[in-house]
Amino acid sequence: MKLVVAIVSGEDSSKVSGALTKEGFFVTKLATSGGFLAAGNTTFIVGTEDEKVPSLIEILKSNCSTRKQTKPSTGSLGLGMFSAAPIEVQLGGATVFVLDIEQFHKL
């Protein structure tokens, strides 16, 4: 059994949630935010059998888009002057961690 932790953009969250549930995955959604952009994203926790992990990853791939986002930056140029050139980053589709589960209980 595996525990899949998938971080997806808030904009893709409901599509991913619907697709996973439709395919029979048991899903927990957490409202999270990224440390870098401090923008809202969603973290999905899914416990599933090893053989279902590839199909879960396919669902994430087909429901998460990559997008560009800019982060304002303020770097000091010295003498009290600051530059505010924005930094452009490419987001996602999804950041996925797959962990082995030692035990699973529903009590």
**Unique residue bearing structure tokens 């973290």:** 43
Least distance from ligand 2BA to the Cβ atom of residue 90, Å: 5
Class of residue 59 by CB neighbours under 10 A (exposed 0-12, middle 13-18, buried 19+): buried
Nearer to ligand 2BA, 21 or 66 (CB): 66
Q: How far is the CB of 107 from ligand 2BA (least distance, A)?
A: 29
Measured from the CB of residue 8, what is the shortest distance to ligand 2BA in angstroms? 8
Q: Contact 53/2 with Cβ under 8 angstroms?
A: yes
Least distance (Å) between residue 79 CB and ligand 2BA: 27
Residue 34 or 47 having the CB closest to ligand 2BA: 34
**Which of 67/82 has CB closer to ligand 2BA?**
67
- Residue located via tokens 């770097």: 75
Closer of 65 and 95 to ligand 2BA (Cβ) = 95
Binding residues (CB under 6 A) for ligand 2BA: these are: 7, 34-37, 39, 41, 89-92, 95
